[in-house]
Amino acid sequence: MKTAVITGASKGLGRAMAFAFAEAGFAIAICARREEELMKVEKEIQGKGGNVLAICADVSSGRDVDRFITMTEHKFGKIDVL
Residues 28-60: tens digit of each pLDDT: 999 999 999 999 999 999 999 999 999 999 999
Q: Are 2 and 28 within 8 A, CB to CB? A: no
Rounded to an integer, what distance in angstroms lies between the CA atom of residue 13 and that of residue 10? Answer: 9
**Whole-structure pTM value:** 0.94
Rounded to an integer, what distance in angstroms lies between the CA atom of residue 78 and that of residue 57? Answer: 19
What Å distances lie between residue 24 and 3, 8, 34, CA to CA?
Answer: 11, 19, 25
Confidence at 75, pLDDT banded by 50, 70, 90? very high
Q: Are 53 and 31 within 8 A, CB to CB? A: no
